[in-house]
Amino acid sequence: GAVVSQHPSRVICKSGTSVKIECRSLDFQATTMFWYRQFPKQSLMLMATSNEGSKATYEQGVEKDKFLINHASLTLSTLTVTSAHPEDSSFYICSARETPNQPQHFGDGTRLSIL
């Protein structure tokens, strides 16, 4: 149980392209989803928290116009990296949680490479 699917797993695109990443909870309803960025040999960096039907809450330093998050249903959240540039290249991981105090379950991540 508690499976989170993230798609695509790998994206390579040109600078200036917008990229959409999907995160789905397959066997539970996720009232909250989280988006992280992970750099090599570094910890998970929380970018934003999204609750179903509400606007996402962004962490300090994360541009909300750059990283658009939508959590329109209890099983789907999307992260759109708008006008991506090489410095946006990273490993993006989503997680989902059914209720507060429950553990987060992670997707397998999306490796984004901007040329």
User: Please, which residue, 82 or 98, has the CB nearer to other proteins?
Assistant: 98
CB of 104 to other proteins, least distance (A): 7
Among positions 20-59, residues that touch other proteins (CB under 8 A) are 41-44, 46, 49
Q: Which of 49, 51, 24, 17 is nearest to 36 (CA)?
A: 49
Among positions 74-93, residues that touch other proteins (CB under 8 A) are 93
User: Please, which residue, 74 or 82, has the CB nearer to other proteins?
Assistant: 74
Pairwise CA distance, residues 13 & 29, whole Å: 32
Q: DSSP code of 86?
A: G
> Which residue ranges make up the site for other proteins (CB under 8 A)?
2, 4, 6, 41-44, 46, 49, 93, 95, 100-109, 111
